[in-house]
Structure 1
């Protein structure tokens, strides 16, 4: 997952910063890492959702945001639920509490919160909880356009 993200950013010529640190599985740890390394931007929040029997989506929003389940249902056609830790690992390769927003199989729909597209820099884990990527917000549209996933704007 990490290599897919880095390769995509390099292929698109998107400036980014990759930082290695202790495992980060919560926002207080992420804030400490951000301060120690001088990372700019807002922490992402990615929720892996199950829709029906075998459909999945990744909601990509920002730290502190809450999911609006009625709006998600309207966008996806049925009410989603948060996928299990096992489903997250099986379908994305991510570990629980550290879901990567980008680089997934084309069958996974991406729901992009408009607030993500408005941030100056987005911080996210590219898979391993020991790594953080810093990506300029003004490059996110270009990054999203290069992905094979169905994209839906949320909310």
Structure 2
């Protein structure tokens, strides 16, 4: 295995501390979008756990929604679930609050601990793939491990 890039190494170190044997895999091509990631690892788009960062409108707090790659997030529903409206985070806010760039934000290891909501649709899957610090790095885990690692609340967050 080749050496991991610094951001992917940071995620691997966090996974090593958790101690469940997760391995970060860096791909030649992009895993920035759910479709790219699914093609790279050979799974369905639904099995991609995409990390979306929003910002609480009143509190300014980061809100992490980990959603199935097949779903669009209902931002109004997320706002109701957390008790304040949310807005899309700009790239600087994402980098400052997570320590990672958009397209590679993992569900763990954020600079500012976010409020975490997890898409209920992920819970029906055996395994899922999440970003691992760069736009071409991912790792595989179970939905239960995602909940455990993030301390997230499982909720219906999809549109429709």
Q: What's the TM-score once normalised by structure 2's chain length?
A: 0.76
Q: For residues 140 and 133 of structure 1, what CA distance do their matches in structure 2 show?
A: 11
Alpha carbons 2:64, 2:117 under 8 Å: kept: yes
Alignment correspondent of 2:99? 93
Mark the CA change 1:90 to 1:11 in structure 2 (over 3 Å): closer, same or farther: closer
2:44 corresponds to 1:32 = no
Q: Measure how far apart 1:6 and its partner are.
A: 2.3
Superposed displacement of residue 51, structure 1:
0.8
Uncovered stretches (5+) of structure 2, i.e. residues with no partner: 1-6
Aligned-pair CA distance for 1:4: 4.5
Give the conservation status (yes or no) of the 8 Å contact 1:24–1:30. Answer: yes
The superposition leaves residues 85-142 of structure 1 with CA deviations (integer Å, 9 ceiling, x where unpaired) of 1211122122223322222135411111222233211211211122111123343343
Corresponding position: 1:76 with 2:77:
no
What is the RMSD of the two structures over their aligned residues, measured on CA atoms? 2.5
**Unpaired runs of at least 5, structure 1:** 146-150
Distance 2:108 2:123 in 1: 14
Question: Which stretches of structure 1, 4 residues or longer, exceed 3 Å deviation after superposition?
Answer: 1-5
What secondary structure is seen at the aligned counterpart in 1 of 2:24? strand
Question: Aligned match of 1:18 in 10, 18, 24?
Answer: 24
* C-alpha distance in structure 1 between counterparts of 2:113 and 2:148, whole Å: 20
Structure 1 pair 11–118 and aligned structure 2 pair: CA distance change class (3 A): farther
Assess, with a 3 A threshold, how the Cα gap between structure 1 residues 108 and 86 changes in structure 2: closer, same or farther.
same
Partner residue, 1:154: 155
Contact 1:15 1:135 in 2 (8 A): no
Contact preservation (8 Å) 1:20, 1:132:
yes
Distance 2:126 2:107 in 1: 17
Query: Which of structures 1 and 2 has the larger relative contact order (alpha carbons within 8 angstroms, sep 6+)?
Result: 1
